[in-house]
C-alpha cells in the first residue's frame, strides 16, 4: 500500500510565536504527570503557553477498554476529542509538553494515524518557549461551546473525514512482532535506556521481565535529542544510517509502554527526505506487553 507523504512534524518556538494569534492555530498542552526514562522537569506552579488548551492523553487518548498500558485510543475516543476541542479539517494543531520532548510525539502520532495531517510538535516544548523569553500564562483556554457550533466541519463531517483516513499500518501488534522474528520483514528499534534494554536493571512495572525483544536495536530516546529539542536532520540521518541494516525499509519503534517510542519515530521522520522512504510504525504494546507474556522470547546482555 502506498502511504501519503508525512509533513515535517516539528515547529520552532519562534514560528509558533508568530502564529499564536492566528484563529486557525490551536495550541494544545499534552503533558503527562508521570515521566519515566528521564529526570523530570518540576514546576512549582502551572505554567502554560498563552491561549493553549489542555488535553489529558492519559484519559482522553487511551483505550480505557484495553488491559494494556497506555493503549492506543479507539476511533470513538478520538472523535470525542475532536468535538471537545472543536478541531476541524482546517485547524492547525501545535502540540507541546512541559518536558521539552516527551509526550507530544505520542499525541502527534495518534492524530496522524487517525488522519489529521496539519499537526505539529513544538520542538523543545514549554522549556524552550521559556528559554527563548516568550510570554507565559498560568491557565488554559476554555472552549466556548457556543463558538464550537459555528466552526467549520465540526461534528459528523469531521468524524467522517477521520474515519476514512485511519492508517492501521502505523501500528503493529505483538503477533506481528513475534512473526517478524522469523520473517525479518522489519527492524525493531527499542528506545529504552541501555541498562533496561540489556536487562541489567529491574523494570519499573511490576511483573514485567527484564531484557528486550530478540534482534531489536537499542537507541535510547535521549540520543535523538539535543537537550530539550531534536537534533538536526543531518545528525539524525547519520544516527539512523549507522544502526539500521542497509536493506531495512520498515522500522517499528518500541519502548516501555508506547509513549517514548514515538520520540524515536518522529526523529526518523524528521531526519530528512532520504529516511522518509522508511515505512515507520509503532509497536503500541511495547515492552510492558512483551515482557509480561512469559510465552514470548526475550534477550539480555551477555555482560
pLDDT for 105 equals 98
191/221 Cα distance (integer angstroms): 5
Instruction: Give the mean model confidence (pLDDT) for residues 187-193.
Output: 97
CA distances for 281 relative to 16, 79, 153, angstroms: 28, 22, 29
Residue 301 pLDDT greater than 90, yes or no: no
Residue 103, judged by CB atoms within 10 A of its CB (0-12, 13-18, 19+), counts as buried
Q: Which is nearest to 12 in space by CA: 155, 132, 151, 186? A: 132
The catalytic residues are 255
Instruction: Check if the beta carbon of residue 119 is closer than 8 Å to that of residue 93.
Output: yes
Task: For 167-179, give the DSSP string.
Answer: -GGGEE-HHHHHH
Q: Tell me the average pLDDT of the chain.
A: 88
Write out the CATH class of domain 10-166: alpha beta
* Stated length of the chain: 303
Residue 147 pLDDT greater than 50, yes or no: no
- pTM value is 0.91
Which of the 8 DSSP states describes residue 206?
A: T
Place of cell 522508511: 278
The domain ranges of the chain are 10-166, 169-290
Q: pLDDT tens digit string along 222-231?
A: 999 999 999 9
Residue 250 three-state SS: strand
pLDDT for 265 equals 96
Q: pLDDT tens digit string along 44-66?
A: 999 999 999 999 999 999 987 77
pLDDT for 172 equals 96
Instruction: Check if the beta carbon of residue 56 is closer than 8 Å to that of residue 83.
Output: no
Cell numbers that stand for 192 in this block: 529504552
56/183 Cα distance (integer angstroms): 38
* Domain 169-290: assigned CATH number: 3.40.250.10
87/104 Cα distance (integer angstroms): 17
Q: pLDDT tens digit string along 67-98?
A: 767 789 988 889 899 988 988 878 999 999 99
Instruction: Give the mean model confidence (pLDDT) for residues 18-35.
Output: 93
178/283 Cα distance (integer angstroms): 11
pLDDT for 272 equals 77
**pLDDT interval class at 202 (50, 70, 90):** very high
Instruction: Check if the beta carbon of residue 60 is closer than 8 Å to that of residue 77.
Output: yes
Intrachain domains 10-166 and 169-290 with the same fold:
yes
Q: What percent of the chain has pLDDT over 70?
A: 87
**pLDDT interval class at 248 (50, 70, 90):** confident
Instruction: Check if the beta carbon of residue 153 is closer than 8 Å to that of residue 159.
Output: no
Q: What percent of the chain has pLDDT over 90?
A: 71
Reduced to 3 DSSP states, what percent helix, strand and coil does the chain have, rounded to the nearest 5? 35, 15, 50
Residue 149 pLDDT greater than 50, yes or no: no
Residue 146 pLDDT greater than 50, yes or no: no
Amino acid at each position: 500500500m502506498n502511504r501519503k507523504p508525512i509533513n515535517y512534524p516539528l515547529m520552532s518556538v519562534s514560528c509558533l510565536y508568530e502564529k499564536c494569534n492566528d484563529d486557525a492555530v490551536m495550541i494544545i498542552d499534552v503533558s503527562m504527570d508521570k515521566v519515566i526514562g528521564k529526570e523530570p522537569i518540576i514546576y512549582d506552579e502551572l505554567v502554560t503557553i498563552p491561549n493553549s488548551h489542555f488535553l489529558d492523553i492519559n484519559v482522553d487518548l487511551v483505550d480505557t477498554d484495553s488491559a494494556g498500558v497506555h493503549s492506543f485510543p479507539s476511533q470513538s475516543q478520538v472523535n470525542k476529542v475532536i468535538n471537545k476541542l472543536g478541531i476541524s479539517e482546517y485547524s492547525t494543531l501545535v502540540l507541546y509538553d512541559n518536558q521539552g520532548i516527551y509526550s507530544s510525539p505520542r499525541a502527534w502520532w495518534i492524530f496522524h494515524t487517525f488522519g489529521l495531517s496539519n499537526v505539529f510538535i513544538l520542538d523543545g516544548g514549554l522549556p524552550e518557549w521559556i528559554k527563548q523569553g516568550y510570554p507565559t500564562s498560568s491557565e488554559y483556554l476554555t472552549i466556548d461551546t457556543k463558538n464550537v457550533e459555528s466552526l467549520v466541519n465540526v461534528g459528523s463531517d469531521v468524524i467522517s473525514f477521520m474515519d476514512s483516513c485511519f492508517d492501521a499500518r502505523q501500528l503493529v501488534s505483538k503477533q506481528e512482532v513475534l512473526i517478524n522474528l522469523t520473517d525479518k520483514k522489519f527492524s525493531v528499534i527499542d528506545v529504552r535506556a541501555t541498562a533496561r534494554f540489556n536487562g541489567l536493571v529491574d523494570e519499573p512495572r511490576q511483573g514485567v521481565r527484564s531484557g528486550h525483544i530478540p534482534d531489536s536495536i537499542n537507541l535510547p530516546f535521549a540520543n535523538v535529542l539535543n537537550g530539550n529539542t531534536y537534533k538536526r536532520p543531518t545528525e539524525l540521518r547519520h544516527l539512523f544510517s549507522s544502526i539500521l541494516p542497509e536493506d531495512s525499509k520498515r522500522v517499528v519503534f518500541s519502548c516501555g509502554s508506547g509513549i517514548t517510542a514515538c520520540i524515536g519515530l518522529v526523529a526518523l521522520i524528521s531526519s530528512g527526505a532520504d529516511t522518509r522512504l522508511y515505512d515507520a510504525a509503532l509497536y503500541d504494546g511495547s515492552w510492558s506487553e512483551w515482557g509480561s507474556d512469559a510465552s514470548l522470547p526475550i534477550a539480555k546482555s551477555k555482560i
